[in-house]
Structure formats: C-alpha cells, structure tokens
Structure 1
Amino acid sequence: MRSAAKARSRQALLDAARELAAKEGYQACSVDAVATLAGLTSGAIYSIFGGKRQLFAAALADYWVLPSLHEVAEPGAPLQEVMYAYGQHYGEFMSGPLAVAAIDLGIEDVAHRRKHPQDDQHNPTSEISRFAAELSEYADAAGETLPLAPEELATVIDRSLGGLALARLQTNEPAGTLFGYVAASLMRGPA
C-alpha cells in the first residue's frame, strides 16, 4: 500500500516537473513550485529523488538518450538517406521546450560532475555503444562501409548533432533540415 502511494507521488512529481520545465525552463523551476503543482510538499522531492537536479534528470531522461535509427528507417536503406532522416528526426526531437530544459540541465549536470565525480551516474558510453551497433547493423544491411569505426562515428554524430542542439538553444537556429544535412555528410567520411 505504501509503495503504491510513493509511486503515485513519484509520478505526480515527474509530471509536474515536465509541465513546469516546458513552460518556464529548467533554471526557472523551483522545488516548491513543482511540489505545489504535484499537490505534495518539497520534502517529497528530496525524499524520493534527492533534489531538484535528480528530479529533473528523471523527468527529462528521454532527452538523454540518443534516438534510435529504427525510429526513422528500415535497415537496408542507403546510409546517407538513413542519416539524413535521422538528423531531421534528431533536430525535431530537440526543438521543443522540454529539450531546451534538458539541455540546460545537461549543462548543469556536466558542471556538477566535474566538481563531484563521485556522483556521476550518467553513462553516455552505453548510449554511444548502442548507437554504434545500430550504425553497424544499417551499414551491413545496406552493404556499405562506415567512414570511421562505429564507436568513433557514433561519437562524432552525437557531438555534432549535440552541438547543433546547443546552437539552437542560443540562437533558435539551425533548422531541422540542417541537422539532416550534417548527419548525412558524416557518412561521406574524410575527403
């Protein structure tokens, strides 16, 4: 019975955090405002999550995961087409207000991990490995060769599209089609 109440409280806090982050952004959200919207006390946030950063990390976890190639194309399609579609998908995914809040949180999280490396629970390596495996699968299915080793290419794509997402945060540019062009161009490899 008690675990069911805790699960409902947890979900209410996650929903409230997402709603406020979409309206106000991560930085402007307060623990008290999230708790009030959820119909709970701020103590519930600390009890369940440990603090604001951990609450929002859980609420915005979808934005810390690289989209899957399977979301945009079937294996066997030419890699440049797959990557163009992937880049556009990534650009659209990272254009909403929750994405902006997730980027803000990500920046704060990096700074926190530099100061407190013992708190690092985020493992981007597993995401890169998963994405690298998908790149290999798609290259094999298309009968094409990747321009770099899969892990290196996955890292380059992640950082390139992540950089564009940061640029969008600052300038509201670039448009989603540029994400597609960048991702597709990475399939050509070094000149």
Structure 2
Amino acid sequence: MAARAHDIDLVPTRLEDRVTDQSPTTKAPSRAERQAQTREKLIAVSREMFIADGYAATSLDKVAEAAGFSKGAVYSNFSGKEELCMEVLDAIHADLLLGVVEAFTAETDFDGRIDAFTRWARVQLGNPLVTALEAEFSAAARQSAYVAEQLRNRHRAMTAEISRLLRDVVEEAGYDVAFDPDKAAVALLSLVIGVGAMRSLDSRLDLDIIGETFRTLLRGVTAPTRVRTS
C-alpha cells in the first residue's frame, strides 16, 4: 500500500500547496497564483534561515531581503514572525510524517515495516539545528497564547494521524487492536521526540532502540486475530 500525500492530516493542505503544475502554459499567472508563489518562496527562504540562525536571530526584514521581496510582501502573507515560523515547522513536520507513513505502508510484512521505520529514524531524527529551533520556538509559548494554542493543536493533529496509522497497520497485519491507539500514538510520538532530542546531543546514539521499543510495544498490546469457526 503506497503512501499518499492526502492521507496526511497534520496540515490539511501543506503537501498539496507544495506541488506545482509542471505542464507547459503560456497563460500569465493570476494574482492568486503569484501570491501563492511568493508565500511558498518566503516559507522556503525562512526555513533555511530559521534552521541556520535560530528563531530570535531571524527577522522579517532579513527574510524579505533574502527572498527578494519587501517587508510588506511578508506581512501580506503572514501576520508576523510567529505565524511564519509555524508554517516552517508545519512543512518540516509534514515531511517527517510523510516518511513515517511511507515506512508503515511499505510493501512488506509487519516486522519489515518496523525495520523501515527504524531506517527512516536513523536518517531523519536528531538534526541538532531543527531540534534547537523547535525548542526555541516552543519556549515562546510561555509568552504567547497564540503559539501555545497552535502547538497544542498541531500535536493533537499529529497524534491523531499516528493513531489512525497504527490502527491500520496492526489490523492489516492480522492482529486484533487490543490497545488504545491514541495512547500508543502518544507513546510513540514521545519516544521519537525524546530520542531525537538525545541524538541531537549525541550523534552516536543507537537509534535501533526506536524499532526495538516499538516492536515490543505493539507485540505486547496486540494479539493474533482469532479464526472463527462455524
């Protein structure tokens, strides 16, 4: 079962927004299309700057200059730096979640999918600059009710998507869902976040622990589906 972008509900239009029509056309882009292109470029440029320099050191003036736009163009697309950084984190998390979906929908058996997830973790988890940005931005939630609410909403959306994915994977493997998928999703997300933070400090950390722990978790809370006899 191949992963599909529209299966991801973390940011309902995030992945679609980044897919552009490559068909040739002579028609000039509309105002809405130009604005979408401007918004996309601002997110791409600010993503590089936020990751490289951090949240506090990245100003909207610097983003506008690097992207080749006026500061007014930034404010016509985003209410401020908080919303822009939230969009950047949404794009990062959508990319990560797509990788998780692809691992758990690979054309293999139950254990093979966990192995694929472990391989994904080895490559994707623990980028120290991304981890630092997430920590710095999360700290802003102490002073901003907007940031706090947005982060809560996104974590809940991510948990719900992982919960749905776990239920599908377990049922497809022929196991009864003998656990609360929402609680298992929280446990998995906490494991990934925690190990990712640790790896950002110690690149030698063995990420096989993620696959081993996850395999133990699912084996321990599931049971093979019983074959019913008439």
Amino acid at match of 2:89: L
- More deviation, 155-164/139-148: 139-148
Cα contact 1:94–1:100 (8 A) shared by 2: no
Shift of 1:133: 1.6
Map of 2:224 onto structure 1: none
Equivalent in the alignment of 1:48: 77
> Is residue 163–residue 184 contact of structure 2 (8 Å, CA) maintained in 1?
yes
1:150 aligns with 181
Asked if residue 138 in structure 1 is aligned to residue 169 in structure 2, the reply is yes
Decide whether aligned partners of structure 1 residues 64 and 70 sit closer, same or farther in structure 2, where only a CA change above 3 A counts: closer
Could you tell me whether the CA contact under 8 Å between 1:132 and 1:153 is conserved in 2?
yes
- TM-score (normalizing by structure 2): 0.66
Q: Please give the alpha-carbon distance, in whole angstroms, between the structure 2 residues aligned to 1:64 and 1:109.
A: 18
Identify unmatched segments of 5+ residues in structure 2: 1-29, 222-230
Three-state SS of the structure 2 residue aligned to 1:40 is coil
Count of aligned residue pairs for this structure pair: 187
Aligned residue for 1:10? 39
CA contact (8 A) 1:49 1:55 kept: yes
Between 1:29-38 and 1:97-106, the stretch displaced more is 97-106
Q: Percent identity?
A: 22
Listed as ranges, the gaps of 5+ residues in structure 1 are none
Quote how far apart the aligned CAs of 1:152 are.
0.8
Matched, 1:165 2:196: yes
Q: Contact conserved, 2:162 with 2:185, CA < 8 A, in 1?
A: yes
Q: 1:34 aligns with which of 51, 60, 63?
A: 63
Structure 1 pair 118–176 and aligned structure 2 pair: CA distance change class (3 A): closer
Structure scoring higher RCO (CA < 8 A, sep ≥ 6) equals 1
Contact 1:16 1:34 in 2 (8 A): yes
- Are 2:127 and 2:200, in contact at CA under 8 Å, matched by a contact in 1? no
Q: Pairwise CA RMSD of aligned residues? A: 3.1
Is 1:129–2:160 an aligned residue pair? yes
What letter corresponds to residue 97 of structure 2 in structure 1? P
CA distance in 1, matches of 2:121, 2:103: 10
Matched residue type, 1:67: L
Aligned to 2:102: 71
Change (3 A) 1:118 1:102: closer
Supply the distance in 1 between the matched residues of 2:215 and 2:138 (Cα, whole angstroms): 27
Q: Distance in 1 between matches of 2:38 and 2:64?
A: 10
- The separation in 1 between residues aligned to 2:146 and 2:59, in whole angstroms, is 25
Q: Write the letter of the residue equivalent to 1:77.
A: D
Structure (1/2) with the larger helix percentage: 1
* CA shift for structure 1 position 97: 6.3
Answer yes or no: is the 8 Å Cα contact 2:49–2:58 preserved in 1. Answer: yes
Task: Name 1:104's counterpart in structure 2.
Answer: 135
> How big is the shift at 1:109?
5.3
